[in-house]
Structure formats: C-alpha cells, structure tokens
Chains A and B, each alone.
Chain A
Amino acid sequence: MNESDVRRLLQDALDVVAPGAEVGTVPSDVDLRRALDLDSLDFLNLIVEIDNRMGIHTAEVDYPRLTTVATAAAYLPERARA
C-alpha cells in the first residue's frame, strides 16, 4: 500500500462522508481536516468508513495518525498487516 493507494482510499471514503472534498488538492503533510474543512463529525465518519472498507479499527489515541496523507500512508499499511 503506497501513498497513491492511501490517497485513493481516503478519496473513496471522503466521497461517502464529505462529498466534494478532494484529497488530490492537499499536499501530503497538510492537515486534511483544515484543508478540506472537515469537522470532528466528518473526521469520525471518515474513520468509520475506513473501518468499513479496510477492517481497521482505529483507537482514539491513533486519530492523529490519520490527519495527513503522509501519516496515514505510514499508519494504514502498518495496521493492515497487523
């Protein structure tokens, strides 16, 4: 799972929880919540959607690891293997 896979996953999930938010416009190290105007509810729904698609249960303490494309690209493959 490389960064472009992660971007595709995030985009697919965002299409459901926040239609109109385009991950492609956000640099890897920029907070998605700020760049795409996601509030805490959108972000929670994003985590739920990633869970639905990947079966990755993200604990609350790990929420920060899904805030940018770069951190998600490190976190998701790690969890997908686990």
Chain B
Amino acid sequence: MQNGAPKGNSRESEIIDVLETHPGVREAAVVRDCVDGYRAFVVPTDSYMDNVLGRELAGATVVDRWRKACELSQLTKEVASVPAGFNTIGWNSTYTRQPIPADEMREWVDTTVAEILKLAPRVVYEIGCGTGMPLLRIAPHCERYVAVDFSRVVLARLREQLQTIPAARDRVELQARRADDFDGLEENSFDTVVLNSVVQYFPNATYLTSVLGKAIHVVKPGGHVFVGDTRNLNLLPAFAASVETFQAADETSAEDLRHRILRRMEREQELVVSPAYFLSLKSRFPKLSRVEIQPRCGRADNEMTHYRYDAILHVDGETEASSGDEFHDWEEKMWTLDEIRSMLRLHPNERHGIMRIRNARNERDLAALAALKGADAAQTAGKLRREYNQYVAKGIHPQDCIDLMAEGLEFAVYLSWAACRPDGSFDVFFVPIASLHRMSKPAIDWPKLEASALVRLTNAPGSGKLRNELVNQLLAHCKQKLAEDTVPVEIVLVDAMPCLAGGGVDSLALLASIEHAAF
C-alpha cells in the first residue's frame, strides 16, 4: 500500500517496498518526520506472528495461566463463607489491592444484569461464567442457559451455588470449555451470547476475534453478543496514571512517577480493548447489523465505572432508516444538567443529541495526567494528589443523564462511547418515549470516530517480546536493503491503516495515534 504522500516521494515508496518483502508485514506506511527522519508503520501478518514468532503457543500458555489464577482464587479459605450467589473472591481494587467493597460489587452485578435483561434473553450461551454472579440472576428469566468456563474448580463451586437457587438450577447447563471451543454448537442456536468481564483474560486480538466470530455464528437473527465490562484502551494512560499516583509515596518525583506509569502500561498483562475494535467488526462480519458502545452504568467511583464499557453486537437485527441525527457540541455550550433538563422540558417531542460531554467520572484523572505530563522537577506525587483531590469537575456524570429517565420527562436516554475520544467524553441521545414504536433501541447516527482511533485496537499483553522481535527483524531487514539515511528511525506496529476518503493512507491519523497512545 502506498502512503498518502504524493507520487514522487520515492524514498518513502522505497522503504515501503522493502518492508513489504518481509513475510511478517501485511501492510506498511511511511511518514517523513521533519526532525528525526522516516517513521514506518506496519500491520503485521497474523500467520507470521502466530507460527514463526510463536504467538499462538504463547497465547495458549497465557490462557492456561489465567485459568490457574482463577482456580487459585477459589482455593482460599474465604470461599467457604461467601454469600450464596455473591462470590466476589478475586475482585480486588487495582488501587488498594484490597477487595472491592461489597456495595460496589452489588451495583456492578445489578447494572450488568439490567443491561443483559434489556436484550430479552431466552436462550443464552455464556462464555467464562466464573462464579456466576450475573448468571444466577439472569437464568431464572430464560428457557435455557448454557454456561461454560475453562476451570473445572470454578464450575464445581458454581454447581454448589446453583443447588440453592432452583429457579436458576433447572435452566442451567454447566460445561468445562475454553472460550474458543464451539464444537457441537449449531448456527443460530442461541439468542444471546454473553462474555462479561472475560475478554481481558484473552491473550490477543486474534483470539478475541476468533471467539467473537464463532459467537456471532451461533446467534440467531435478532439476537445479540454482549461483551460486558471491557477495559477501555483509550483511557489506559489515565487509568495507569491514576493508579500510580494513588500508590506513590508523597516524595516520589514527577519524573519517577512518569516512568512508573509507562512501566505499568508496558507490563499490562490483561487485554485492553478500544471500542474502535468492536466497531471495526461490522466490516469483518456481515451478520452484524449494529454495534453499540455504552459506558458502564452506576454511581460507584471505581475502576469499573470509570474505565470500562459494554459492547453490544446486534446480529441481523431490525434497523430503522437513519434519520440524520444532529448533535449539539457540549464543549461549545458547556451545558449543566439543569440546562439539559430545561431543553428536554421545552422540546418534549423532539430527539436531542449532545456530543463531547466532558465525563465527570474521568475528568479529574485526565486533568492530573495532563498536569503530570508537563510537570517540572519540583512536582511530587504528594503535591499532585493534594492539588487534584480538590478538583471540581465541570463535566457531567453519565449516571446523571441516565437518571433523567426517572424524573418523568418521558424520554429514553442512550449513552455512547463509540467516538473513542481519548478524553473519555461521551455522547448522549434523548428520544421521546412516545416515538419509540415497537423498537426498544432506535438506530442513532452517533458521531463518528476519528481515523486515528482505528490504528490501535488492542494492547498486546504477553506479546511484547514477540512484537519487539518482529520490530528488530524489520530494522535489520531495512539496514540490509536500504541506504543508511533511509532506514526508519522507528517502526511502529499497528492494528490497521487509517485511510483517506480519496484513497491512500492517512498519515496525520497515524502520527496522531502515536500521540494518543504515548505518555
């Protein structure tokens, strides 16, 4: 593929041609950096990563390790005293390393169950059911609920819990299976597949896509794949910064804190996924009619509400014709919740969209991160904490928008994170309930994501060494074939090439993606 630079840029073309002769390269683009030289972007070949560099084998090892970690959590003495249907063993705060408070876990379970029940599930396949907190509440509403997990130890504990809840027990079948094992499952045999708080334990995007592809295959038209509690890649720097700032000793310098944040992101062992990944699935799986990305519901201030989302994949669903929805830009108007409420009261029969609402959940952490990036030598973790503990958010809390529905305003409220903005801002759409007809979820023309959001779709936990190996191979390849001043100063592995509307690669989007991911 040629980059977006005009013809006549023979050096960029030469570099691309050399890179694309390497079997590990599916696509390449080159951007000339005025200061440093040439920067190359490469989409690696899956088969090379899996078979030559050993990613598939490494991935199998990762899955086995997570299975073992889940089993160990169920061997602790605390398991004997967990309340029925509420086994939260292993749910520890990344910040404090202590168990997440029970009331916050109850909210997490309740909001998860509510979102899944909105899909009207009757015949469900759940992948990675774990200790069954959502399952035990959803199964009584279903005709059949097949729940699988890769751990026999976890399933044994769940089987004991099921005996105490007959309404669930009689509808549930438990099976020991890996997530990617769909042997014997027929096409269109379920109306709902659930993967809740599971995909972070997948080894890489290839595995995730394989599982989702099989899940989509078994869901009948009109059904859904619910991928809940997914960690948001766009906000990984903010999350890492908030954790390290929380944990650092008062006297830790800004420089040291920045290094710790970088190291935390590099060490990340879980799969963290951009919403853009799920949005890109529509082009890969024609059976998908729509993809929704929703911030988590809830009032609790924790890493689940702040940094995770639910992706709902609609399979061959009904869709209304798009109505060309327009959105007010919140950053231009800076509306308060009261002003939004007034607008809804004044125009009760109209659809209202508001985009780029500053997210009060993440606002403080993002402001602290921005301050830390530019901090001088005198700044310390203690000073940063004291300064930002007093921070007053100017944005709106997503749950405040949802709670408007309970005020008798006669609007259905929908939230979206599909624009994938690195500032965590969200979009909201209000639809008069009277206009909903028979569709519970109308098609909404959400604001589009920027091209740069498609460049990096997931992180690569456990594949760091393999990716470094490929980059080193490609650099050696370039040094062998190119003049010294043409060898790229950096090779960046990306998940996809952003394209310009008229063809060619969007170089600015590639450069922007580095800036968004960097710290």
A and B physically associate: no
Interface residues of A (CB under 8 A from B): none
Interface residues of B (CB under 8 A from A): none
